[in-house]
Amino acid sequence: MRKITITCFIAMQLVFMNSCSDDSTSSDDLEADDSIEIVIDDTDFEATDWTEATHSKDADPDFDEVFEDEAVKRLDLVISEDRWNSMLENMTSLYGTFGSHSNSSLSDSDEDPVFVPGEVFYNGIEWYRVGIRFKGNSSLQSSWSAGILKLSFKLDFDEFEDDYPQIDNQRFYGFKKLSLKNNYDDKSMLREKVASDVFRDAGLAVSHTAFYTVYVDHGDGPEYFGVYTLVEEVDDTVIDTQFSDNDGNLYKPDGDGASFALGTFTEDVFVKKTNEDDADYTDIEDLFTALHADNRTTDPEAWRDELETVFDTDTFLKYLAVNTVIQNWDTYGRMTHNYFLYNNPDTERLSWIPWDNNEALKDGNGQGAVAIDFSDVSTSNWPLIGYLYADDTYKAQYDTYVQDTIDTYFNVNTMQSKYSTYSSLIEPYATAEMDGYTFLDSSSDFQVAVNALNSHVVQRASVASSYLSK
């Protein structure tokens, strides 16, 4: 095989121009039976839109610009046809044929989809050779199998800096990485954003979120992919801006040990997102040891003291109260994933950070969301809930946070006003989604889903009030 390298400049999309040059082989050198591999060299470009505020690592994250609450902004992703096809081919290898429901045998893949370089455009400004890939677990596989191309994306703005020195330390208004969530299984398209708002109002560390419409040009011009929720990445700016020190261990647990059940600890479950080269998991092991200490029932005060030296129990109990009142079945208590643990260097304690909230604010699938008194939660299977709730001191703390939640963070009037504002904001964009790029069966599904959210907050206030009155 002969390799021909073609050098071209890529602007809005990859184009072959008359000035393209063959720098490796001439036609006179080729024989009739030679096959040719075309290698596109797109390294010759100038980052003309680059400014310190928009592209530089030195800029502070601009939350007002990127995560404006009451706005629907637009992002355009431009990916060459060949690279787009490579993304689709990679998805087929991971999850089977697009639109086929017979892909269950491939659904356990733990391999991330492939990154490709592409351009991101926002307000007429270009970000260059951004790493773009599809993202998600069961939601990604389910969307793909259903033949819905409205897939979640992950953006990494300097993923390809080694290949393109022009983008060294490229940022998007101070952000290195961002997720575009497709609002899977949420016909209101509000749950991810609203749940994040509630956690933040409660004073918990959590990702910022915002509404965006996404257009993708993969060779035939911009195509409308629908309403997405832009989500701040925990291992990027969340620990950098919501903690005073970002040098601690950040874990994204996934697997049996993420339940904290006795004897389930394994290092591979506690995936490190920082300090990956450090094989020390002492902080997680210390939490297992303190949680399962023999003095839990014989000397509760000593047990609490030991536990609180390694685990921020107050943050967890507040999270637990908020999460249980608003309901979220796809996380701890039902599922062994969708949370982070950060070892805050200031306190040397592991702190809980919620993640992936598109399944919040409803009863849920399978066993459904846990009961507010955890009567349907196995203590041995979910000891961070069972053990703490069984302790009178921690139960009283939990109950206080349940009251705070319905009084303040998840107050009926406040929430219904929020639902009204957000739904009015995104409705024109949500109901304009097209077949093959939407989870709506009809445009009326959107308002039906919003109505369900309004009813849900009333119902949860009643459940919480009844619980607290016992």
Note the pLDDT of residue 110: 74
**How far apart (Å, rounded) are the C-alpha atoms in residues 164 and 363?**
47
User: Which residue is it, tokens 């908020």?
Assistant: 322
**How far apart (Å, rounded) are the C-alpha atoms in residues 215 and 442?**
21
pTM higher than 0.95, yes or no?
no
Query: For the chain, what are the domain ranges?
Result: 2-41, 52-182+206-241, 243-470
Note the pLDDT of residue 39: 52
The three-point CA angle 217-156-356 to 5° equals 95
Note the pLDDT of residue 111: 87
Q: Count of alpha carbons within 13 Å of 58, Cβ hemisphere only?
A: 4
Cα distances from 330 to residues 6, 138, 274, 357, 362, in angstroms, run 48, 11, 24, 8, 11
262's tokens: 């006795």
Which stretches of 107-255 are DSSP H helices?
A: 138-145, 191-201, 239-241
**How far apart (Å, rounded) are the C-alpha atoms in residues 351 and 343?**
6
pLDDT digits (tens, 9 = 90+) for 216-273: 999 999 999 999 999 999 999 999 999 999 999 999 999 999 999 999 999 999 999 9
Cα distances from 45 to residues 9, 10, 137, 158, 167, in angstroms, run 6, 7, 35, 16, 10
Note the pLDDT of residue 40: 61
Note the pLDDT of residue 286: 98
pLDDT digits (tens, 9 = 90+) for 3-23: 334 344 334 443 333 444 444
Note the pLDDT of residue 103: 56
Judged by phi (left if over 0) then psi (alpha if -120 to 50, else beta), residue 275 lies in left
Comparing CA positions, the residue from 374, 313, 312 lying closest to residue 346 is 312
Note the pLDDT of residue 108: 55
User: Which residue is it, tokens 């399944």?
Assistant: 359
**How far apart (Å, rounded) are the C-alpha atoms in residues 82 and 64?**
36
- DSSP state, 258? G
| Positions in the chain whose pLDDT score sits under 50 | 1-38, 105
Enumerate residues 6+ apart whose C-beta is below 8 A from 245: 344, 345, 346
Note the pLDDT of residue 41: 73
Instruction: Write down the mean pLDDT value for the chain.
Output: 92
